[in-house]
Amino acid sequence: MRLSTVILPIHRWSEGQQIWQRAEELGFHAAYTYDHLTWRSFQNDPWFGAVPTLTAAACATELLRLGTLVTSVKPRSPITA
């Protein structure tokens, strides 16, 4: 049986890296995150982009498959104002 997990993109990478690595250590086959602008319950907290989060997770893990549960089609600016 292959198990997967969801890791919300709410953690700064100093903490997030450990969470993604722990998912791999626990033997999860895959880990996913969401590509939303935010969730209501996290509207006043950090919410990081899915693609940069998954890129960092790919650099920090070896076997864990990565992906998004939802990928939103929305205009994005690579420059933060």
Residue 6 pLDDT > 60: yes
Q: Where residue 78 falls among pLDDT bands split at 50, 70, 90? A: low
Contacts of 10 (CB under 8 A, 6+ apart): 42, 45, 46, 47, 48
Q: What is the pLDDT of residues 13-62, one digit of tens each?
A: 999 999 999 999 999 999 999 887 667 777 788 888 888 999 999 999 99
Greater model confidence, 16 or 74: 16
| 3-state SS string for the chain | CCCEEECCCCCCHHHHHHHHHHHHHCCCCEEEEEECCCCHHHCCCCCCCHHHHHHHHHHHCCCCEEEEEEECCCCCCCCCC
The residue ranges of every structural domain in the chain are: 4-71
CA 24 to chain CA centroid, nearest Å = 13
pLDDT attached to residue 34: 87
